[in-house]
Amino acid sequence: MPFNTFTRRGLLGGLAGTAALGLAPRLAAAQTAVLSPVALQLSWLHSAQFAGSYIAQDRGWWAEEGLEVALLPGGPNAPVEPPVVSGTALIGISAADYTAAAVEQGAPFRILGVAMQKNPFVIASLPANPVNAPADLAGKKIGMALANTPVLQALCTLNGVDIGAIEIVPTQYSAQPLLAGEVDCLLCWETDLPVAMAMQGIDSVTMLMADHGYAVHSQTYIATEDSLANRRAELVGLMRGEVRGWEEYRLDTDAAAELTLRMFPDAGLDLETQKLQAARQVPLMFSDLTDANGFGWWTDETVAANIETLALLGRTVTPDLWDRSILEEVHAG
């Protein structure tokens, strides 16, 4: 699943400020230089989920890096991994479990950065019958796709809950079964079905699975080993633009949502929904760790937690799946 300039902001003080910083000549040079075409494969359809990338493109920050970046939408029929393996996309936005599965099949991937510090999976319920902790799932009916049963099993294992005490009800990806009383809770993303309910004026309770041991990096940047060996400058440039875009996004998520609709007016997006989705992403993407080290960061400890959870999902990986060298170069700059 899942998600240029903010014209009302300008470039941090306008052209006078950029000239004083020596950036105006660099921007002019970027406009006249021959740019290298590369592509970033998104994990889902265009939405505010990817607004940091839209900012980087709209502000011309990739052009400053000598890149002309195409943003390729994903979706149910557009998996991330094949374009990256084939070289159609330089980088893809995936998730550690999908990447681990691809690596097991021989794909030469490395994870370069982690956009979501906390996995967005939640158990969503209603205030009258809340699920506040994994133990509350016992005796409940949960609506979910059967394909996500390993996810629920991992959560239960991590928290000592008997999955047999939970009734799994196969449902479409919609809040309706919960609202109709057909189920007690839903397995979903923090940024979609709870947002849809909020837009209808319906309060919900969301238990973030990451707060209960479910550690699977999501919205991860992946590239091939060949690109790491032979296209490092492009990787650094693309990731530098991403970092700048997401840091700017954090400052004004409403503006990020507005930009999303301006760039993709035919995507069928609702502005208020996009604003709420954009705001709810922030605590998933930024943390004390990113404040200290920069957007996209991870540590040996977070990797170890990922490896533990991935093992519960039936995926065996080693720490070298994560390669921080590109990100270190970006943040060193």
Q: How far apart are CA 257 and CA 49, in angstroms?
A: 9
CB crowding 72-102: b at 16 or more within 10 Å, else e: ebbeeeebbbebbbeeebbbbbbbbbbbbbb
Q: What pLDDT, on the 0 to 100 scale, is given for residue 77?
A: 86
Taking 70 as the threshold, does the pLDDT of residue 29 lie above it?
Answer: no
226-258 residue pLDDT tens: 999 999 999 999 999 999 999 999 999 999 999
Could you tell me which residue, 31 or 141, shows the higher pLDDT? 141
- Tokens representing residue 303 in the block: 């990797």
Nearby residues of 67 by Cβ (< 8 Å), 6 or more positions away: 35, 36, 37, 38, 234, 237, 238, 241
Residue 30 above 60 pLDDT?
no
Mean pLDDT of 254-281: 98
Task: Determine the average pLDDT of the residues in 100-127.
Answer: 97
Q: Do 190 and 163 touch, CB atoms closer than 8 A?
A: no
Residue 17 has pLDDT above 70, yes or no: no
**pLDDT value, residue 76:** 87
For the chain, list the domains and their CATH numbers.
Answer: 14-118+216-332 (3.40.190.10), 121-212 (3.40.190.10)
Which pLDDT band holds residue 180 (cuts at 50, 70, 90)? very high
- pLDDT tens track for 74-88: 998 889 999 999 999
> Looking at per-residue confidence, does 14 or 65 come out higher?
65
Confidence at residue 110, expressed as pLDDT on a 0 to 100 scale:
98
Segment 92-105 shows an average pLDDT of 96
* pLDDT exceeds cutoff 70 at 191: yes
Cα dihedral sign, 325-2-157-149: negative
Closest-CA residue to 102 (of 214, 249, 220): 220
- What average pLDDT does this structure show over 140-145? 98
| Per-residue pLDDT at 176 | 97
Token pair recorded at residue 300:
């040996």
Confidence of residue 31 (pLDDT cuts 50, 70, 90): low
The reported pLDDT for the residue numbered 25 is 46
More confident residue, 277 or 28: 277
Q: CB neighbours (10 Å) of residue 173?
A: 14
Q: Could you give the percent of the chain with pLDDT greater than 70?
A: 90
pLDDT band with cut points at 50, 70 and 90 for residue 32: low
Average the pLDDT over each of 31-35, 43-47, 115-119, 263-267 and give the range with the smallest value: 31-35
Q: What is the rounded average pLDDT of the residues 140-144? A: 98
For residue 116, the Cα-to-chain-centroid distance in whole angstroms is 5
pLDDT of res. 22: 42
**Which token pair is 63?**
């052009």
Percentage of residues of the chain with pLDDT beyond 90: 89
**What global pTM score does this model have?**
0.88
Indicate the average pLDDT of the chain: 91
Among 12-21, 168-177, 281-290, the minimum mean pLDDT is found in 12-21
